[in-house]
Amino acid sequence: MWKKLESLTSKIYEKAWKRKGEHRIALLIDGPNMLRKEFNIDLDKIREVLSEFGDIVIGRVYLNQYASDKLIEAVINQGFEPKISAGDVDVEMAVDATELVFNPNIDTIAYVTRDADFLPAIRKAKERGKKVIVIGAEPGFSTALQNIADYVIKIGEEFQLDREKLEKKKKNKFLKVEEKQKDKEEDKEKGNEKEKINVFQN
């Protein structure tokens, strides 16, 4: 039922998963390893892809203490829980992953990482009957990680943020703010004019 995946195709999804919402997924994202400029990953697209497998019950993004406020805010706005670590991010993520193995409400754990450090946690998950999805990217995508997973997704262009759309969104947001400001100023001017009229009438 679970197949290795070299390229992303909806046909394979249909064969592998008969019903949406069939599986309850914990999604763990290795921020320092994957949320990098060279990958330009759109978290919404990862969520969209995993929705083909089931429901994301837990969605966490692990970040180090140097993560910018802008990045943390973006993670929250996209509906994920940021977990900021002053120490080793991999250790905290691996500990959480091991705890999730014993969570009866989770049957699938999805890792977004290229790092082989998570192999022990993945082995434990599989021993306990959990399914494991690994989402990663080249270069540096651990072969051992790909071989141990039940399902592998390699990130390509389809996962990248559309910079043009993002800029357009920012521009529209700016225009809306500008329009609101203009409306406020017009209302203020109208109010001032009314006050002047009242003064002259009195």
Pairing of strands 54-64, 108-112: unpaired
CB 64 within 8 A of CB 34: no
Crossing angle, helix 119-127 and helix 89-100, to 10 degrees? 0
Q: What is the per-residue pLDDT for 193?
A: 59
CB 43 within 8 A of CB 75: yes
What count of other Cβ atoms lies within 10 Å of the Cβ of residue 189?
10
Say if residue 139 is preceded by a cis peptide, omega within 30 of 0. yes
Residues linked to residue 136 through DSSP beta bridges, in sequence order: 154
For 124-170, the pLDDT digits (tens) are: 999 999 999 999 888 888 999 889 989 888 877 545 444 444 445 44
Q: What is the per-residue pLDDT for 185?
A: 66
CA distance 81 to 62: 8
Instruction: Using alpha carbons, select from 47, 36, 29, 41 the residue that is nearest to residue 156.
Output: 41
CB 78 within 8 A of CB 45: no
CA distance 64 to 24: 27
Q: What is the per-residue pLDDT for 60?
A: 92
What count of other Cβ atoms lies within 10 Å of the Cβ of residue 97?
22
Q: For the stretch 12-32, what's the b/e string if a residue is b when 16 or more beta carbons lie within 10 angstroms of its beta carbon? A: bbeeebeeeeebbbbbbbbbb
Which residues neighbour 4 within 8 Å (Cβ) at sequence distance 6 or greater? Answer: 146, 151, 152
Q: What is the per-residue pLDDT for 125?
A: 93
CA distance 102 to 104: 6
The residues of the chain scoring below 70 in pLDDT are 1-21, 157-202
Question: What pTM, to 2 d.p., does this model score?
Answer: 0.67
